[in-house]
Structure 1
Amino acid sequence: MMNKELSGEHPFRSNKPRSIEYAMPVLLFLCALVSIFTTIGIVYTLVTESVAFFKEVNVFKFLSGTTWAPLIQPVSFGVIPLLFGTLLVTLIACCIALPVGLATAIYLSEYASPKVAKIVKPVLEVLAGVPTIVYGYFALSFITPVLQTLLPGTSLFNALSAGIAVGIMIIPMVSSLSEDAMKAVPKSLRHGAYALGATRFEVAIQVVLPAALSGIISSFVLAFSRAIGETMIVTVAAGATPQLTASPLESIQTMTAYIVQVSLGDTPHGSLAYGSIFAVGLTLFVITLLLNIVAAAVSKRFREVY
């Protein structure tokens, strides 16, 4: 063995070329191509179907119209009510999920003992694994009756109930990603703050939180994107009434709920109403893409390198 080591040969390494060393990079590259071609296929489908739709419907009227009635005469394709309903539910969800998720992350990262963390984290993971259809019926059968008791006049289908359920659903995403960002902050920063006489709360808020700001903001934007694309909760709990209203107690319709409504209905393939689901889907895709671009830019802007 000494002779092999002196001659430059590794005692546990074969000098014979192994086919797996050449095959694995190719296999991994093909796996990476799957996601690329899938994205290209989705974009191609949305764009081609949407182009056919916009040949008959003016793009400006689609983006600025305030009446959405594609299935009744006279038809109207103003996407603003769907967009407004989507943002209303998303904002309600974020008002719940962002502070609760961030507070949970701070607790798990800075306060919780390993024993407590072993209990809390699995519970959050279970919450993240609940099917969204279950959240939808939970909102309809539990949250809505509570709201109707507290706020008389609340509709059976309403934006507030759906927003609360979506907010509960995305709490684990915010807390998990934010906790990972906070745990990545070097302990030397914490020890230096403690040496200067800072309390644990001051260290968490004034040292760890700013240092992990890049990851925290990214988790916020990703959670916002997840909420804006939620389908089953809003389909079950928010209703199917596309209207411009600022009241979260009334029935509304989101973009994803409309896509479900038309996809499961008797709308003929190739009709104008059928093409509208691709136009709405393309609008939602562009919004999500812009949010991801913003998340990447913000993450790069506030990233701290240690």
Structure 2
Amino acid sequence: MTTSPDLAAPPDSGGLPNLRPSSPRYGEKIIFGILAGSAVISVATTVAIVLSLIMPSLDFFRDVSIVEFLTGTEWSAGFQDAQYGVLALLSGTIQVVFYSLLVSIPVGLGVAIYLNEYAPDWVRRAVTPVLEILAGVPTVAIGLWALYALTPIVADLLPFLEWGTYSIGVAGLAVGLMSVPIVSSVSQDALRAVPDSLRQGAFALGSTKREVSIKIAVPAAFSGIVASIILAASRAVGETMIVLMAGGGRPQFTFDPTEPVLAMTSFIGQTATGDIAAGTTTYDTIFAVGLLLFTITLILNMLAIRMVRRFREVYE
């Protein structure tokens, strides 16, 4: 009987056949190349975005002082006596994030705790797709709903406040409702990763379902919950259409939820579609505001990574 050359026993193998493939694994090399190329494309895209924002921003800061830009409270870009105080836009963005988190954190976290700790399987299977549908609704549709339906509801619930047609409070509320699936899905994944042995041990010590959910499961999944909150905040920072349609377009430095306010994203969306000559200071404001918006989002993402690493619980 003749032994195949590929399976012939090497001299030092103790008589065992050689099972190594005779040809290189080209398939694995192709997959490795595709994955490495995807990573390079992601990094290159990020670098290209940063460079496209930095270059026009430098032209803007040659005409406008960076101190005036970062500390001024008056914004009237495009007018004769133009003012470029970005705090008027930044205050609108901060309010959108604040009001959205007031809604998305308790509602989203409550949904996650209920679905993971209390709800039976059939309820979980029915509610989860609905949340996914809410996450996929176009923001322009949510903006229309906020303008024509949510604003009258809020005015009826809070009649002691003078609500106008546009208000940053309603816009933040709509963004918060849109961010509920982000908080609930990520928090639910974090709660699901908590070992059942912790829950069973708490039940064995006489803890109630509420105590196990609030004092055991939530602290154990705290890093994931914090990550979901910061992701929701990043989503609120970058939201454009809802804020543009329901928040109004008046750039003013105020923290009154009933007032129309112009946020940074809505300014970019409003100005970039206008007839503005390229190379002018007004045109370059889009990139300066965009660079500031990119920096805020980067800081939030870095904060999320730091918080996750700080509060991460490792179970064996």
Normalised-by-shorter TM-score class: over 0.9
Residue aligning to 2:165:
156
Give the gaps of 5 or more residues in structure 2. 10-14
- Cα distance, 1:198 vs structure 2: 0.5
Taking structure 2 as the reference length, the TM-score comes to: 0.92
RMSD: 1.6
- Cα distance, 1:18 vs structure 2: 3.7
Q: Which region of structure 1 is more displaced relative to structure 2, 285-294 or 169-178?
A: 285-294
Residue aligning to 1:109:
116
Higher gyration radius (CA): 2
What amino acid maps onto 2:283 in structure 1?
Answer: Y
Q: 1-side partners of 2:28 and 2:258: how far apart? A: 61
Equivalent of residue 181 in structure 2, options 172, 177, 186? 172
* 1:85-111 deviation line (CA, Å, top 9, x unaligned): 111111011000101000101011111
Q: 2-side partners of 1:9 and 1:200: how far apart? A: 58
Residue aligning to 1:34:
41
Residue aligning to 2:236:
227
Give every structure 1 segment of 4 or more consecutive aligned residues whose post-TM-superposition deviation is greater than 4 Å: 3-6
Q: 1-side partners of 2:17 and 2:301: how far apart? A: 49
Q: 1:174 to 1:8 in 2, by over 3 A?
A: farther
SS for the counterpart of 1:106 is helix
Q: 2-side partners of 1:215 and 1:149: how far apart? A: 36
Q: 1-side partners of 2:65 and 2:253: how far apart? A: 21
* 1:170-193 deviation line (CA, Å, top 9, x unaligned): 000000000000110111111110
Residue aligning to 1:82:
89
Q: 2-side partners of 1:66 and 1:17: how far apart? A: 65
Q: 1-side partners of 2:154 and 2:26: how far apart? A: 64
TM alignment of 1:44-193, pairs within 5 A: 44-150=51-157, 151=159, 153-193=162-202
Give the gaps of 5 or more residues in structure 1. none
Taking structure 1 as the reference length, the TM-score comes to: 0.95
Residue aligning to 2:246:
237
- Cα distance, 1:17 vs structure 2: 2.3
Residue aligning to 2:310:
301
How many equivalent residue pairs? 302
What amino acid maps onto 1:183 in structure 2?
Answer: R
Q: 1:159 to 1:24 in 2, by over 3 A?
A: same
What amino acid maps onto 1:133 in structure 2?
Answer: V
Residue aligning to 2:282:
273
Q: 1-side partners of 2:152 and 2:166: how far apart? A: 11
SS for the counterpart of 1:76 is coil
Residue aligning to 2:12:
none
Q: 2-side partners of 1:57 and 1:85: how far apart? A: 22
What amino acid maps onto 1:107 in structure 2?
Answer: Y
Q: 1-side partners of 2:18 and 2:273: how far apart? A: 66
SS for the counterpart of 1:289 is helix
